[in-house]
């Protein structure tokens, strides 16, 4: 039995569900919007996790779950919970259920895509960059600071510079222009990450179960995800064949971070050198699959079914 956790209409979860159905592999869904109909009870005895997950009328024993694909949103942001105080009984029950589910996925003996602990590296981009460099991929020269003078010096030394947040929360990558210098004093209140701009083209790599699925992104935007806003036209995505050494390095990095699935953001410069910006531990791969036909959802479903 495979368990899918999240909002089942969200594209990544829906695609994996379709592929599991095509494989004829049984699966159940923890539908977050229906959490009030659910319950979980379990225990750890002699190193074994036992218990039962109740999903409305469906009851699943924890021992029969061999794989979990989780894309849970922050339960505090669910519509029927958001805005309620933390000590409200309804909020407390929702939080307790999600905490129990998260705790179980951390200790269950099956395959989880991905457990919470290894996802933690993405909560700090500077920390994750050190791990990336340690495992054989180049990282652009970086400055994390709240000192405007340090930024000006960094820009003088490296020319074109981009900036982004240092947390795991998505931010729009932008180039630092002269007009931005008028508001540079604002960083005194919140450190920002600045990086030298690497010229080249972007490649998104998804690694799962020993498979590598890469696509090239063609766009003049600094951040191709917001290409329409930044340059007026959408990015063009196409399948891309990584050379064997780079593919191996991406797989080794994924394994070293303890991830079953990763979305690795690369840029290849004019000399063919690969620069790594980030490793996403919960990638919204459906965007890339829809545009390229890469069988990423099939690879995830197969990886879960083989657990």
- The arithmetic mean of pLDDT across residues 232-237, rounded, is 94
Q: What is the Cα–Cα distance from 83 to 81, expressed in whole angstroms?
A: 6
Phi then psi dihedrals of residue 69, to 5 deg: -115, 115
Give me the sign of the Cα torsion angle 55, 25, 284, 307: positive
Beta sheet of 211-218, edge-to-edge order: 236-239, 211-218, 201-208, 261-268, 274-280
Whole-number pLDDT of residue 38? 97
C-alpha to C-alpha distance for 219 and 173, rounded to whole angstroms: 14
What pLDDT is recorded for position 135? 86
Query: Could you tell me the pLDDT band of residue 262, with boundaries at 50, 70 and 90?
Result: very high
What pLDDT band is residue 47 in, cutting at 50, 70 and 90?
confident
Question: Residue 229: is it exposed, middle or buried by C-beta count within 10 angstroms (0-12/13-18/19+)?
Answer: exposed
pTM of the model: 0.92
pLDDT above 80 (res 36): yes
Can you tell me the distance from the alpha carbon of 207 to that of 221, in angstroms, rounded to the nearest whole number? Answer: 25
CA proximity to 294, closest of 233, 209, 232, 204: 204
Domains in the chain, CATH or no CATH each? 2-113 (3.40.50), 119-136+199-305 (3.30.470.20), 142-196 (3.30.1490)
């Amino acid at each position: 039995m495979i368990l899918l956790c999240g909002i089942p209409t969200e594209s990544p979860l829906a695609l994996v569900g379709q592929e599991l159905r095509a494989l004829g592999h049984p699966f159940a869904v923890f539908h977050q919007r229906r959490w009030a109909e659910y319950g979980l009870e379990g225990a750890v005895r002699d190193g074994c996790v036992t218990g039962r997950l109740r999903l409305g009328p469906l009851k699943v024993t924890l021992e029969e779950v061999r794989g979990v694909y989780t894309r849970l949103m922050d339960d505090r942001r669910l519509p029927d919970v958001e805005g309620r105080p933390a000590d409200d009984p309804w909020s407390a029950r929702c939080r307790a259920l999600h905490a129990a589910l998260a705790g179980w996925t951390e200790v269950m003996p099956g395959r989880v895509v991905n457990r919470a602990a290894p996802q933690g590296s993405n909560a700090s981009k500077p920390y994750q960059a050190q791990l990336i460099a340690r495992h054989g991929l180049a990282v652009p020269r970086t400055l994390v600071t709240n000192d405007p003078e340090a930024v000006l010096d960094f820009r003088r030394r490296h020319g074109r510079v981009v900036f982004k947040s240092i947390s795991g929360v998505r931010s729009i990558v932008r180039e630092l222009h002269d007009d931005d210098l008028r508001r540079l004093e604002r960083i005194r209140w919140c450190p920002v990450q600045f990086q030298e701009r690497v010229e080249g083209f972007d490649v998104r790599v998804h690694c799962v179960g020993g498979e590598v699925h890469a696509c090239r992104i063609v766009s003049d935007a600094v951040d191709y995800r917001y290409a329409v806003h930044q340059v007026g036209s959408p990015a063009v995505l196409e399948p891309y064949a990584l050379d064997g050494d780079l593919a191996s390095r991406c797989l080794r990095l994924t394994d070293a971070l303890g991830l079953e699935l990763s979305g690795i953001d690369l840029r290849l410069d004019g000399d063919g050198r690969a620069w790594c910006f980030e490793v996403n531990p919960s990638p919204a791969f459906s965007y890339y699959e829809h545009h390229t036909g890469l069988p990423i959802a099939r690879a995830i479903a197969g990886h879960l079914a083989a657990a």
